[in-house]
Amino acid sequence: MTLMTSDLSDAIGFGPLPKDWYTVRAVEIQDETSNKTQAPMLALTLMVETGEYAKKRVFPPYRVMLGGVTEKGEKQRTDRVCELINATNVEWKCNGCGASGVRKFVKNDQQKYLCPDCMQVTKFSYDTDHFRDKVFRALLSQEKGFNSEEMVNSVARVAPLS
Ligand SMILES: [Zn+2]
């Protein structure tokens, strides 16, 4: 027998976080590919930064599609990575006009994202490592887990801190 002392303040509670906006940090990031389509995606493990749920990790990781095609063969939407770049101020390069740096995508009347320099719908490049440790806001919702009746969190929207 070993007499152990553990800390109840580290027992942060099971189950999903209530639906709300949270300040979160991307404490781990992982490049992944879809098993079915090989589409590239980024998995961000989010941890709550502030408030009563501070230090609690959001489960499952937030997975953002970066390109490729869906199972139906349609092109993956990239709105989510644009939204994430705008929320995290990660630098990116426009492959159309060549402008680079920390800039926010702008939206046109159809809510499509455009390069703010050339105002075109273009391809864009970025380093996924740069999302690590970024702090931003995330609107969490809840959904049934994969192959499970248990509720888990999902990220509905992300936004910059201020
Ligand atoms: Zn451009």
CA of 121 relative to ligand 1 center, distance in Å: 8
13 CA → ligand 1 middle, Å: 46
What spacing in Å lies between the alpha carbon of 85 and ligand 1's midpoint? 15
pLDDT digits (tens, 9 = 90+) for 95-121: 999 999 999 999 999 999 999 999 999
Angstrom CA distances, 52 to 23, 25, 56, 113, stand at 11, 15, 9, 35
pLDDT digits (tens, 9 = 90+) for 11-46: 767 789 999 999 999 999 999 999 999 999 999 999
Distance of CA 82 from the midpoint of ligand 1 (Å): 14
pLDDT score for 12: 67
The residues facing 43 across adjacent strands are 30, 63
Per-residue confidence band for 148, with pLDDT thresholds at 50, 70 and 90: confident
For residue 73, CA distances in Å to 12, 60, 76, 106, 154 come to: 42, 26, 9, 28, 24
User: Three-state DSSP class for 8?
Assistant: helix
Ligand 1 centre and the CA of 97: distance in Å?
A: 4
Q: Summarize pLDDT for 44-70 with one digit per residue, the tens.
A: 999 999 999 999 999 999 999 999 999
Rounded to 5 degrees, φ, ψ at 82 are -65, -45
User: Any idea where the domains of the chain sit in the sequence?
Assistant: 16-68+129-162
pLDDT score for 7: 86
Q: Which CATH architecture has domain 16-68+129-162?
A: Beta Barrel (2.40)
Q: How far is the CA of 24 from the centre of ligand 1 (A)?
A: 30
